[in-house]
Amino acid sequence: MTSDKLIITAAITGGVGDKSRHPSLPVTPREIAESAVEAWSQGAAVAHIHVRDPVTGGPSMDFELYREVVERIRGACDMLINLTTGAGARIIPADTDPPGLGPGTTWSSPEKRVEHIVRLKPEFCSLDVGSMNFGDRIFANLVPHVEAMASMIKDAGAIPELEVFDMGHIGIARSLIEKGLVRPPYVFQLCLGIKWGIPASVKNMLMMKEALPEGAVWGGFAIGPESFPMVAQSALLGGNVRVGFEDNFFISKGKPAKSNAELVEKAVRILRALDREPATPAEIRESILNS
């Protein structure tokens, strides 16, 4: 894949917010898959997938929901699939002494967090390597758990997208590589602008990029109003890009996006203004999956 071809990932729906935040937020497996295929039609080559409880709209780890989404996408297009493994990392402390695990906690074993990866064998999966405060909860990724997950992902044949929210997380990711738990190509996602993580700025994205292992395949994104500025910044630095309702509901200031596809279409316009082109799934398979 040439340097002027960049991967667009569409992050279809995360684990935060519901249809009260945006009426078009995909919730059911059908909605999630159809939104992914619409994003593919506009130039997204990879779909980053969370699933939600179709009744409550809240985050879910139900295997059958993942299975249905994957089968629907695979049956409709050649889009590459990136399944999250972050859903089982939430700790909400109980207001007790000593503190316990409160309602809403999803903290799970490494085996549970990668069950859908092992069984569905997506091309990619996210692997959050570090812990941090995240809203009213702790996003808990203990290094021994991350190492166990990396080993199981490796055995399943998926490529882990190493998600780093701060500089120290890059050190954890490098240790996974040094221990042989992650095979090349080393794929990184630089996650900026999440509260209590590294702020979204040109300086911070460049600093993170320069700390990556030589030859790493990387992309960067930010949430909210910094989403599209960081699309441009990542592209200028030679990185791939990510947009979608998981990160941002707005196409421009004060104007809600109609769909994930509309967000992707704007990202394509930004890339082409910089003389870049979105990579196709076939090009990614040839250059990354078969390398």
Structure token digits, residue 174: 């490098």
CA atoms within 13 A on the CB side of 235: 28
φ, ψ for residue 120, nearest 5 deg: -100, -20
Among the residue ranges 101-105, 218-222, 231-235, 253-257, the one predicted with the least confidence is 101-105
CA atoms within 13 A on the CB side of 160: 29
Superfamily of domain 5-289: Aldolase class I (3.20.20.70)
Average pLDDT over residues 33-37: 98
Residue 17 pLDDT class (50, 70, 90 cuts):
confident
Q: What per-residue confidence (pLDDT) applies to 248?
A: 96
The C-alpha atoms of residue 262 and residue 156 are separated, in whole angstroms, by 33
What is the H or E stretch that residue 229 is in?
helix 227-236
Q: Is the pLDDT of residue 2 over 80?
A: no
Q: What per-residue confidence (pLDDT) applies to 26?
A: 96
* Residue 62 CA, distance from chain mean position: 18
pLDDT tens digits for range 203-250: 999 999 999 999 999 999 999 999 999 999 999 999 999 999 999 999
- Please give the share of the chain, as a percent, with pLDDT higher than 70: 99
The C-alpha atoms of residue 131 and residue 199 are separated, in whole angstroms, by 16
pLDDT tens digits for range 137-172: 999 999 999 999 999 999 999 999 999 999 999 999
The C-alpha atoms of residue 88 and residue 25 are separated, in whole angstroms, by 21
Average pLDDT over residues 95-102: 90
The C-alpha atoms of residue 128 and residue 88 are separated, in whole angstroms, by 11
Measuring CA to CA, which residue among 112, 104, 63 is closest to residue 86? 112
Q: What per-residue confidence (pLDDT) applies to 135?
A: 82
Q: Which 8-state DSSP code applies to residue 225?
A: G
pLDDT tens digits for range 260-271: 999 999 999 999
Measuring CA to CA, which residue among 259, 276, 266 is closest to residue 38? 259
Average pLDDT over all residues of the chain: 96
Beta strands in 96-196 (DSSP E): 124-128, 132-134, 137-139, 159-164, 187-192
What is the H or E stretch that residue 32 is in?
helix 29-41
Q: What per-residue confidence (pLDDT) applies to 220?
A: 98
Strands 8-11, 240-243: pairing kind: parallel
Provide the residue type at 6 as one letter: L
Peptide bond connecting 278 to the previous residue in cis, omega within 30 degrees of 0: no
Q: What per-residue confidence (pLDDT) applies to 256?
A: 96
